[in-house]
Structure formats: C-alpha cells, structure tokens
Chains A and B, each alone.
Chain A
Amino acid sequence: MKVNITRYGTKGVLLQWPPIIDEGILSKMTHLIDTIKEEDNILDIHHAYHEVLIQYRNTIQNFNQLKQNLQAALLKHKKVKPTQTTHWTIPVCYDDDFVPDLERYLDRKEIRLSELIALHTRPTYTVYFTGFLPGFLYLGTLDDKLAINRKSKPSRLIKAGTVAIGGTQTGIYPQDSPGGWYGIGYTPISFFNPRLPILTWAKPGDKISFESVEKDRILHIKRAIRKGDYTIKSEKYEG
C-alpha cells in the first residue's frame, strides 16, 4: 500500500495512506508509531483515520534523509510484541430525560426508540483515534440506518457524557461543548481525566460496545463512579 510522505510546516512530516476508514491502515499506522515513537528528535505524533503527523523538535534540515528513514521504518517487520487490545462495554441510558435531542432524532429518522437502541448497541465499534476534544473517540462504524445529517445550526451546549450521532458517525462528548450532532443517550463514564496518571483508558485499536441500561441503574453507576468503586466492564485479548 503506497504511503505518501510530505512536509508539514517547518518541523512536521505527514504520512498519508489511501483515504478510507480501514482497520488494516490503522494497524499499519500504529505499527509505525510504535517503531519510531522513542526517537529523541520527535516531539509528538498524532494520527486520524489514514494520516500520521509527526512533529519534530527542530526545523527539518534534510527532508530526503528523514523520508528514507521513515520508508525504512514502514518496511521494518520489527517483532513488536502483539499489542493487547481491550473490548470495553459502556453503559448508556437512551432516555430523553438526559438528552433533549432524542425526540427530534427519532422524529426525523422515523424510527422507534427500541429500534434505535437495538441498532446502536449491536455493533462492536473500533476506536480509530482521539480528536475534536480531549478524550473524544472516533469510532467505526455506525449502522447505516442510524445515519443523520448534522444539524445545520450546531447546538450551543451538548453535555459531557452525551452519546451522539452525526453523519455516519457516533461518539461520546467527553466535556460540555457546542456541537452539531444529535444526542441519543447518556453515559456517566469519563473518557479523559488530565489529573490521573493514565489520562484515558481507551486507545486506538480497542473495541467499544454500548449497553442499554435503565435510568435508575445509570444514576447508581454515577454514584459508584463518584465514590471510586466502579470499573468499566472490559475483556482483554491479544490483537
């Protein structure tokens, strides 16, 4: 698979795979990042579906050399120990007490709440990357039947914990934010905490499923989280 390597500003390099959402590309990007991330001259690396952006500490002097090194790193079938991935199950309450948009979403899609819940909780979603907000996970892929155009006028406030649908994507707002997606559910699970040594529990390549729970149970989970005695349901496997 051809990878296009170009400069990005004075200190950046961009690696581009074909523009598709694909787990094979995700694992190639993750492999490259694992291979090079300890290099001293690299300040930061982040990626989206099909592009990796490397920021170097200093202005790039010899791009051709850098490019060759990256091409070599891409070909390196370094024996990296198989990464352990985790399948997380997120409790969600699909109830308009938590999400003011739910009614509007169901009306516009002309589907029943039970159908929405069935179609939204059925897939196993792959975590592709984090972007938009700290801890906002880009997940693939939503059932086509649930896709809806984003609001033409974004809402001023979508509450932290809102599970939402926008276009063909679904995701969870990790903090209060304006946004153009339709809120369809609520989870009390936190996706990012800058005050903890491990900022987030989910990483690219992990899997996520949603589980429908009643309002009482959600409030119970919320209390348990506050007391620090709640663990997200998860299952580990060698990826």
Chain B
Amino acid sequence: MKAKLKIIHAGTFASIQDKGRSSYAKYGVPRSGFIDKKSAQRINKILGNKQNAAVLEWTQIGPILQFTKATQIVLSDTTNKTTLNGEPLRAKEIIEVPEGGLLNLGYNPKVVYSYLAIKEGFQTKRVLQSRSMQKGITKSDLLHSKSKLYYQAQQLKISFFKKPTFSLHQPFTDLLARTIDCFPGPEFDLLTEDELQGLEQYFTLSTQRNRMGIQLTELLPNALPSMLSVPILPGTVQLTPSGKLIVLSQDCQTTGGYPRILHLPEKSLAQLSQTTQNVRFRFNIIDYD
C-alpha cells in the first residue's frame, strides 16, 4: 500500500535522486542522479533495497518529515539533533518508523550531501526512466512543502528505539582525500607553463556550488582562446576567460563553450562534492597510461 510522506519543512536543496538519466544527452537532458553514489547505494543495501532505489538527498539542513504509515529507513549520517519522535538516531542502521513518526533530519555542517533511504525506495513518478528531480523534466527540481512523496507502507517489525550509544558524523573515510585524482581534459594541452604551474596550487571550494557545478575560490588567469560549444559531462572542469574554474556536477548541461582543462572520474567528483568550503586540496593529474 502506498503511503504519503508529509513534508513539514523542506530543508535545503533536498531532492529525490536515483541513478539518473544516462542515455538522453543528445536531447540536452542532464544526467542527474546521486551526487555521492556510494553513500546512497550503501544505505539502500543496508535496507535490502535495490542499490539504485530512489533516495532523499539534501545538503546540511535536513527536512522535517512525517510518515503517515510505518516503514523502515536508513540514514547516511546523523548528528545528535537527528531525531525520530524526539529520540536520537544512529546512522547506517535500520530505523523502524511507526505510523505518524516525526523525523527531524537536523543540521550537519560536516557533511555536504546526506541521504535517507526508505524501504522499497521512494515511489515518485519516473520520467525518462528515472525519478531524479530535474527542472524541465520532473514536476519540480527541489523538494518543497507541497511535494507529493510516496512510499510503500511496511509492517512494523520490532519494538523500536534501541537507544544509541554513539553517533556517527563522518562520511566514508575515502571521501576525505585531500588529493583529487583527475585526467587531463581535451583542452589541457593548450595551457602554458605558467598556467600549468597555477594548477599545482592548493584550491578551495567557493560558496558558488550546487548540483550543476562547483566553482573554485582561486582563479587561474589564462589566455585560452574562445571556442565553439562542445560536449561536456559531469566531472569536466571548465576554465573561463576570467580564470574561474568550474567543476561540473551531476545536473550539468550536456554542452558548453569553455575550455575543458581537466576531467574528474566518478570517485573524484564524489570526493570533491562532499568537501566542505574551508578544506584545501590539490589536483593530482594522471596521464592515460
């Protein structure tokens, strides 16, 4: 039986995500999908879901939700402010949610993208083979108080509330790397010695970031020529004439007009996406054998 999830507070940049739309780039449709695939798949697995079942994703300030029927959920991370009916919760383990359960996902400044998996996955409408919210594709691109979220009601299994003895804050340790592995992009060879040296500096992420892309704080002055629009992918790093470096993320456009100087493989993009503003990192450019 389908049950409705009431959204008391929508949180910040919360959306439903699955693995996204991988075969519609020729229509200009962004790929979308989990920003941190590993975290999302891991909590789906704990719950016994299909690994790409639709989950709720948010950034830092989590939504407040009320469940109209009982179900089971798993959270990727929690703080001591993450509560169900006022009781604290643990991350990465099955939480039994009773009918009427009020879940407050709290505020976690240490994790950029957090996830909630629900038994059998969220049952929102699939558009172009995916439930990932995207402007111009699904009805809305972000969760808001009137969003209609459905899930499959479950039998309540055990008496709930084992009181947690500790709370997990950290994302997976391999997401904390300070060196971001990447490949040279198609326009990499156009960089001069000085520009290449500039790429060796430490970088930080600016506040200009969303599901489309992340702008770095430091600039890379350059004399790269302007160019025709070319295909791009999540992970591509663009360099603008004013020196801005933009790491394209899951919701990026399919084509762009700036030189593509680097390309981050999936894992590096997830690492960078889970990096908070004040962390310094460097690019480690790996040649294709």
* Chain A residues within 8 Å of B, Cβ to Cβ: 6-10, 12, 14, 16, 19-21, 43-53, 55, 63, 129-136, 138, 174-175, 192, 194-195, 199-200
Best-surrounded residue of A55, A131, A174 (most CB of chain B within 10 A) = A131
Check if B263 sits within 8 Å of A9, measured CB to CB: yes
Contact with A along B15-38 (1 / 0, CB 8 A): 000000011111111100000000
Residues of chain B from 55 to 111 with CB closer than 8 A to chain A in the complex: none
Q: How far is the CA of A45 from the CA of B22 in the complex (A)?
A: 10
Q: In the complex the two chains form, is B231's CB within 8 Å of A14's CB? A: yes
Q: Is the CB of B27 within 8 A of A199?
A: yes
Measured in the bound complex, the distance between the Cα atoms of B226 and A82 in whole Å is: 35
**Min C-beta distance of B236 to chain A, whole Å:** 8
In contact, B229 and A131 (Cβ under 8 angstroms): yes
Residues of B228-282 at the interface with A, using a CB-CB cut-off of 8 Å, are 228-231, 233, 235, 253-256, 263-266
The yes or no answer to B158 lying at the interface (CB within 8 A) is no
- Let me know if B1 is at the binding interface, CB within 8 A: no
What is B's interface to A at a CB cutoff of 8 Å?
22-30, 127-128, 135-137, 183, 185-186, 227-231, 233, 235, 253-256, 263-266, 288
A12-B233 in contact (CB<8A): yes
Known: A7-B288, A47-B26. A194 touches B265 (CB 8 A): no
Known pairs A44-B25, A129-B255, A194-B137 / 13 extra A-B pairs, C-beta < 8 Å: A10-B266, A46-B231, A48-B229, A48-B230, A52-B231, A53-B25, A63-B288, A131-B28, A131-B254, A131-B255, A133-B136, A134-B137, A194-B29
- A138 CA / B230 CA spacing, docked (Å): 11
- A131 to B26 Cα, complex, angstroms: 8
Q: How far is the CA of A44 from the CA of B28 in the complex (A)?
A: 12
* 15 interchain pairs, CB-CB under 8 A: A7-B288, A44-B26, A46-B26, A48-B228, A48-B229, A48-B231, A49-B230, A129-B255, A131-B229, A133-B253, A134-B30, A134-B136, A136-B28, A174-B136, A175-B136
Find out whether the CB atom of A50 lies under 8 angstroms from the CB atom of B228: yes
Please tell me if the beta carbons of B28 and A133 are within 8 angstroms of each other in the complex: yes
Nearest residue (CB) in B for A12 is B233
A138 and B30 alpha carbons, distance in the complex (Å):
16
CB < 8 Å: which of B29, B186, B233, B263 contacts A134? B29
Known: A53-B233, A175-B135. A135 touches B265 (CB 8 A): no
CB distance from A173 to the nearest CB of B (A): 11
Chain B residues with Cβ under 8 A from A10's Cβ? Answer: 183, 265-266
Contact of B228 among A7, A8, A44, A49 (CB under 8 A): A49
Which residue of the partner chain A has the closest CB to B253? A132
Residue of A20, A47, A48 with most partner-chain B CB within 10 A? A48
Known A-B contacts A8-B186, A175-B136; A200 and B231 likewise in contact (beta carbons under 8 Å) = no
User: Which B residues touch A51, using CB under 8 A?
Assistant: 230-231
Q: How far is the CB of A159 from chain B (nearest CB, A)?
A: 13
- Contact partner of A9 among B24, B128, B233, B256, CB < 8 A? B233
**B80 → A minimal CB distance (Å):** 39
Q: Determine if B255 and A21 form an interchain contact, defined as CB atoms under 8 angstroms apart.
A: no
User: Considering the chains assembled together, what is the distance between the CA atoms of A206 and B237 in angstroms?
Assistant: 32
- List chain B residues, Cβ under 8 A from A132: 28, 229, 253-255
Q: How close is B124's CB to chain A, nearest CB, in angstroms?
A: 14
Interface contact B231-A7, CB-CB below 8 Å: no
CA distance A48 to B229 in the complex (A): 6
Instruction: Report A31 CB to chain B, min CB distance, Å.
Output: 15
Residues from chain A with a CB closer than 8 A to the CB of B128 are 194, 199
Chain A residues with CB below 8 A from B186, complex form: 6, 8, 14, 16
B residues in contact with A19, CB < 8 Å: 227-228
A134 to B30: give the CA distance in the assembly, Å. 8
Residue on B nearest A199 in the bound complex, by CB? B27
- In whole angstroms, how far apart are the Cα atoms of A9 and B127 in the complex? 27
CB distance from B119 to the nearest CB of A (A): 28
A136 CA / B255 CA spacing, docked (Å): 11
**Which residues of B have CB within 8 Å of A53?**
25, 231, 233
Give, as a whole number of angstroms, the nearest-CB distance from B211 to chain A.
15
Distance A195 CA – B254 CA, assembled complex (angstroms)? 20
Query: Chain B residue with minimal CB distance to A169?
Result: B229
User: In this complex, what residue of B is CB-closest to A9?
Assistant: B263
B229 touches A192 (CB 8 A): no
Which residues does chain B contribute within 8 Å of A7, judged by CB atoms?
Answer: 183, 288
Report A162 CB to chain B, min CB distance, Å: 14
B229 to A, closest residue via Cβ:
A48
**Does A46 contact B254, Cβ atoms closer than 8 Å?**
yes
Complex: chain B residue closest to A128, CB-CB: B229
Chain B: minimal CB distance from A49 (Å)? 5
Contact of B255 among A6, A12, A14, A48 (CB under 8 A): A48
Tell me how far the C-beta of B128 lies from the nearest C-beta in chain A, rounded to whole angstroms: 5
Q: Closest 10 A-B residue pairs measured CB to CB?
A: A131-B255, A53-B231, A46-B25, A130-B28, A175-B136, A46-B26, A44-B23, A134-B28, A134-B29, A7-B288
